[in-house]
Amino acid sequence: MTVVSPQPPPPSEVRLTDVVRATGVPDLIEILADRLSEPELVAVLRDAYRRRAGRMTAPNVLAHYQRRAFFHPSPTAASILARIDRIAISIAAAQFEAVELAPICPAAAASALTPVDSGAAWGAGGGCEVVSDCRTALALEAAVRRRELLLEGSTAEQGVQLCASHRELHAPFSAPLRREYHHRVLGLCHAGNQARQYQFEITALIEQLSMQLLLLESLRTEGFRIGLVTVMLYHEPDPNLERVVRGEIASSLSAAFPEVRLLTESERRAGRGSFAPIGFTIVAEDQIEVEHTIGMGGFTDWTRRLLGRAEERLLVSQIATERIGEAFAPGSS
Delineate the domains of the chain, giving CATH numbers in brackets. Answer: 16-70 (no CATH), 77-102+135-328 (3.30.930.10)
Q: Output the pLDDT for position 129.
A: 83
Secondary structure of residue 280 in the 3-state scheme: strand
Number of residues written out for the chain: 333
What pLDDT score does 8 carry? 39
Q: In degrees, to the nearest 5, what angle opens at C-alpha 158 toward C-alphas 156 and 161? A: 135
pTM for this predicted structure: 0.83
Arithmetic mean of pLDDT, 320-328 = 94
Q: Is the pLDDT of residue 162 over 50?
A: yes
64-114 pLDDT tens trace: 889 888 788 888 999 999 999 999 999 999 999 999 999 988 888 878 888
- If phi > 0 it is left, if psi is from -120 to 50 it is alpha, else beta; for residue 97 that is beta
**Confidence band of 271 (pLDDT split at 50, 70, 90):** very low
pLDDT category of residue 305 using cuts at 50, 70 and 90: very high
Coil, helix or strand at residue 131? coil
d(CA 195, CA 316): 19
pLDDT band at 270 (very low <50, low <70, confident <90, very high): very low
Output the average pLDDT for the chain. Answer: 85
Reply yes or no on whether the pLDDT at 131 is more than 50: yes
Of 90-104, 143-157, 171-185, 232-246, the poorest mean pLDDT is in 171-185
Residue 5 pLDDT > 80, yes or no?
no
Other beta carbons within 10 angstroms of residue 82's beta carbon come to 12
Band the pLDDT of 58: cuts 50, 70, 90: very high
pLDDT over 70 at 53, yes or no: yes
Pairing state between β 104-106 and 123-125: unpaired
Percent of the chain with pLDDT over 90: 49
Higher-confidence residue of 275 and 270: namely 275
pLDDT of 295 strictly over 90: yes
What's the rounded Cα separation, in Å, for the pair 308 and 302? Answer: 10
Highest mean pLDDT among 161-170, 192-201, 268-277: 161-170
Average pLDDT over residues 169-182: 60
Q: What is the per-residue pLDDT for 155?
A: 60
- How far is residue 80's CA from residue 85's CA, in Å, rounded to a whole number? 9
Which residue blocks in 15-166 are alpha helix, DSSP H?
16-23, 28-30, 38-54, 58-67, 78-92, 109-113, 134-151
- Check if the beta carbon of residue 169 is closer than 8 Å to that of residue 181: yes
Q: How confident is the model at residue 272 (pLDDT cuts 50, 70, 90)?
A: very low
Phi and psi angles of residue 104, each rounded to the nearest 5 degrees, phi first: -125, 160
Residue 231 predicted with pLDDT over 60: yes
Q: Is the pLDDT of residue 286 over 80?
A: yes
- For 210, the 3-state DSSP assignment is helix
Mean pLDDT of 148-156: 77
Type and span of the H or E element at 263: strand 261-266
Greater confidence (193 vs 110) lies with 193
